[in-house]
Amino acid sequence: MWFSPRDWSIPNVSEHYSVGAGPHTLERNLRGAYADITLGATPGNTDIRYRSETSNPIHVDITAGYKQTIALTLKAHSLLTVNGTAHQSLANSYPPGIHTPSGQFSASLSGVGPGSSQSDFIMIIDQPWRDFSRSQDFQLAYANLSDHDITVNLSLAGNVSAHPVPEPATYAMLGAGLALLGLTARRRPRRHEA
């Protein structure tokens, strides 16, 4: 088993991490926001968590993501089927509008070389601001119809983000400023060239 990419970095942070064979945990605590990603010792066992422990979440953004790639050899004239369960949960302790959480999980089986195909599954967090927990089963399939063995990549990827949104007063001030600018532009007399 191997991981791709093998190196991790966090934007705007000078630290850099390398990932070997699992289990391995990358974690970061920045201004009260905490995130960790754990790659398990078995293929496909990956967990990503985020929490904020700051009293002023408006100033904390965090994004964490991973990609795990497993190279498999598929024998001639055979079919590979991957069954799995994707699980998402969100526990948001802040009132609606403070954080806009988003995230997704994807799994794909793809061949290597010309004429290869791909089988995909995507699950998106689409219920922001409310607590929820859900699971969804998925199945990927890849057939090798050729007379020789081929390499197939099983890729598992996911990300989660929590970005603050501007307060409603900020939107109102911005809207009022644009309306005033439009009104001023309409009141200017037009110049006519001779």
pLDDT of residue 153: 87
Calculate the alpha carbon distances from 125 to 32, 161, 178 in Å.
23, 10, 33
pLDDT of residue 177: 47
pLDDT of residue 185: 47
pLDDT of residue 123: 79
Which among 91, 78, 83 is positioned nearest to 145, based on CA atoms? 78
Q: Which residues pair with 181 in a beta bridge?
A: none
3-class state of residue 180 by DSSP: helix
165, 57 Cβ separation under 8 angstroms: no
Range list of H helices, the chain? 168-187
How confident is the prediction along the chain (194 residues), in pLDDT tens digits per residue? 233 334 444 443 433 344 455 555 556 655 555 655 555 545 555 555 555 555 554 455 556 666 777 888 888 899 888 888 887 766 655 555 555 667 778 889 888 766 677 888 887 766 555 666 778 888 889 988 889 888 888 888 777 666 554 444 444 544 454 555 444 444 555 555 55
Calculate the alpha carbon distances from 181 to 96, 167, 168, 174, 177 in Å.
31, 22, 20, 11, 6
